[in-house]
Structures are given as structure tokens and as C-alpha cells.
Structure 1
Amino acid sequence: MSHSLRFAVPIKAMIEKEPSFGYRTVAWLLGFNKNTVQRIFRIKG
């Protein structure tokens, strides 16, 4: 759980700041793997 939470917090902050960003843009800006970001998008909605 803490592993996904470590990724979920900055992803959620980025989406709140720029709701139009997709998972690829968020992954690129944060330097995360796009598959990880896509999984968080699916889980968190």
C-alpha cells in the first residue's frame, strides 16, 4: 500500500492542479513510468 501511496500523492496533486493532463503527461512531468501512473489513474478514478 505504501508503494502505491508514494506515487498516488504527487499524481493526485498534479491532477488537481491541471485536470486536463492525461496519464502520459503526468508520467513525463513527474518522471514516473507511464504504466505506473496509468494504474494509479485506474485505481483512484
Structure 2
Amino acid sequence: MGLKGSALLPEVEYEEVRSLICMWLTTLGHILKIDLAFGYRHGER
């Protein structure tokens, strides 16, 4: 039943959610990369 409910969602709404998730993951990736870079720099010194 849950799958049927999600399938009824409009394609536009689904695309918007997908793009938002992609943007969030990309931003999170950048933040993690920055944190890792700072961590390695502080760890070396």
C-alpha cells in the first residue's frame, strides 16, 4: 500500500524532492571534505 501511495505523487514534486536531496548531499559532501581537510592539517601540526 505504501508503494502505491508514493507512486501517486506528481512527477514534478518527485523531481523537486530529488533535486533537493542531490543539493543537500552535495553540500554535505563539501562540508565533510572541508572538515577532513582541516582535520588532516591540524593532525599534521
Answer 1 or 2: higher relative contact order, Cα 8 Å, separation at least 6. 1
Say which structure is richer in helix.
2
Question: How does the TM-score come out when normalised to structure 2?
Answer: 0.35
The structure with the larger Rg is 2
Question: How does the TM-score come out when normalised to structure 1?
Answer: 0.35
